[in-house]
Amino acid sequence: MPEFQCKITESIPPQLRLDRYISEILGLLSRSQIKVRKLKAKINGKDVKISRLVKNGDTIELSWNDPEPLDIIPENIPLDIIYEDERVIVVNKAQGMVVHPGAGNRKGTLANALYFRSLEKNGSLDGRELRPGIIHRLDKDTSGTMIAAYDDDALAFISQQFKSRKVKKEYIAIINGIPKEKKMKIETFIARDPLNRKRFSVTGQGRAAVTFLSVIKTWEKHSLVLLRPKTGRTHQLRVHMRFLGHPITGDSLYGFDDALFPNATLMLHSRRLAVTLPGEENKTAFASPLPQRFKEMIRSFTRGLFCFFLLDLNSLLS
């Protein structure tokens, strides 16, 4: 963990915040790196926030985390790219792809692919701290729209939008059964299930989770729904659908046996993501198309009227 100590002896502008002093005068870290590296500060021996104002004569003590080690193998894995510039990339993540390496998944992840792409775009690391800037995650069997960053500033800028819930996210799912209401707000607390550590469940306490649900189409025993999560808890949509008694079809962790589709995979897709890109003032919306597994299941419901349904679905989701 790097450390730094100094006493302000030079003339500084009035009302100067500590984070600006670190980035603009000392040049130690950018303001976004201050957040990413979890900088801790003391002024005159007392712990302070980075928003604290500084003045001549203050003694400053700083410490911050080293960059996260790149224990990632770059791999040339084809990606379905929706958008890309020098600072961010938006992809349509395939179902079955793990986002970040972990136990038993050291290769073949989105992070491996993004690291390779960073190196390919820049030739080499060349002293820069390029890394797969994973901002948010989708479960392995959830497909769809994801954004990642190529540099710390972009990572911090977009991460803050997720943290402050300014990013608009839309998912589509096929669920078992038919909800009683066409539109509803699901608001609960979610915590890890004490009986199964791989799962989460609705509890009387935990982390607040809010999801807005709209029913798009119903059939005899299934429904197509649009889900808009306001919060981003782990497995939130899957937990909320199980809580309603209408688990997502093909969900092996939270679902029930489905006699019609015993071999279905998770029918959850991140359809749309609206976010403000670095350097922009307004949100840009990115969307990924209806996956083939959705088309095949819907076709079995519509019995030859799939083309007409698809046109109607596009108008409903636009």
Q: What is the CATH number of the domain that holds 107?
A: 3.30.2350.10
What's the pLDDT score for residue 9? Answer: 85
69 within some domain: no
Share of the chain above pLDDT 90, in %: 58
The position carrying tokens 């993540």 is 93
The answer on 224 and 269 residing in a single domain is: yes
What's the pLDDT score for residue 174? Answer: 98
Instruction: Name residue 194's amino acid.
Output: P
pTM comes to 0.78
pLDDT in tens, 4-29: 888 988 778 888 899 988 887 787 78
The answer on 95 and 177 residing in a single domain is: no
The answer on 25 and 155 residing in a single domain is: no
Instruction: Name residue 172's amino acid.
Output: I
Domain boundary among 163, 183, 210: 163
List the CATH number of the domain containing 55.
Answer: 3.10.290.10
The answer on 176 and 158 residing in a single domain is: no
What's the pLDDT score for residue 3? Answer: 83
Residue with the larger pLDDT of the pair 19 and 102: 19
Mean pLDDT is lowest, of 23-27, 74-78, 114-118, 180-184, for: 23-27
24 within some domain: yes
Domain boundary among 163, 179, 206: 163
Name the active-site residue from 66, 80, 126, 139.
139
74 within some domain: no
The answer on 92 and 11 residing in a single domain is: no
> Is 318 exposed, middle or buried (CB count within 10 Å of its CB: 0-12, 13-18, 19+)?
exposed
CA distance 210 to 190: 10
Do residues 209 and 240 touch, judged by C-beta distance below 8 A?
yes
pLDDT in tens, 283-301: 999 999 999 999 999 988 8
What's the pLDDT score for residue 45? Answer: 94
Residue-range definition of the domain harbouring residue 138: 81-163
pLDDT in tens, 43-53: 999 999 999 99
The answer on 255 and 125 residing in a single domain is: no
The answer on 213 and 86 residing in a single domain is: no
What's the pLDDT score for residue 200? Answer: 93
The answer on 85 and 51 residing in a single domain is: no
Token output for 250: 């093909």
The answer on 240 and 265 residing in a single domain is: yes
254 within some domain: yes
**Averaged pLDDT, 260-272:** 96
**Averaged pLDDT, 140-152:** 93
What's the pLDDT score for residue 99? Answer: 92
75 within some domain: no
In 85-196, the DSSP E strands lie at: 88-93, 133-134, 143-149, 168-176, 183-192
CA distance 129 to 131: 6
pLDDT at 225 over 90: yes
CA distance 252 to 250: 6
CA distance 121 to 113: 12
Decide if 139 is catalytic: yes
281 within some domain: yes
What's the pLDDT score for residue 126? Answer: 43
The answer on 127 and 192 residing in a single domain is: no
Confidence of residue 304 (pLDDT cuts 50, 70, 90): low
**Length, in residues, of the chain:** 318
The answer on 184 and 91 residing in a single domain is: no
What's the pLDDT score for residue 48? Answer: 94
Domain total in the chain: 3
72 within some domain: no
The answer on 292 and 245 residing in a single domain is: yes
CA distance 243 to 146: 26
The position carrying tokens 């497995």 is 235
Confidence of residue 125 (pLDDT cuts 50, 70, 90): very low
135 within some domain: yes
What's the pLDDT score for residue 313? Answer: 66
**Averaged pLDDT, 132-138:** 85
Domain boundary among 140, 163, 186: 163
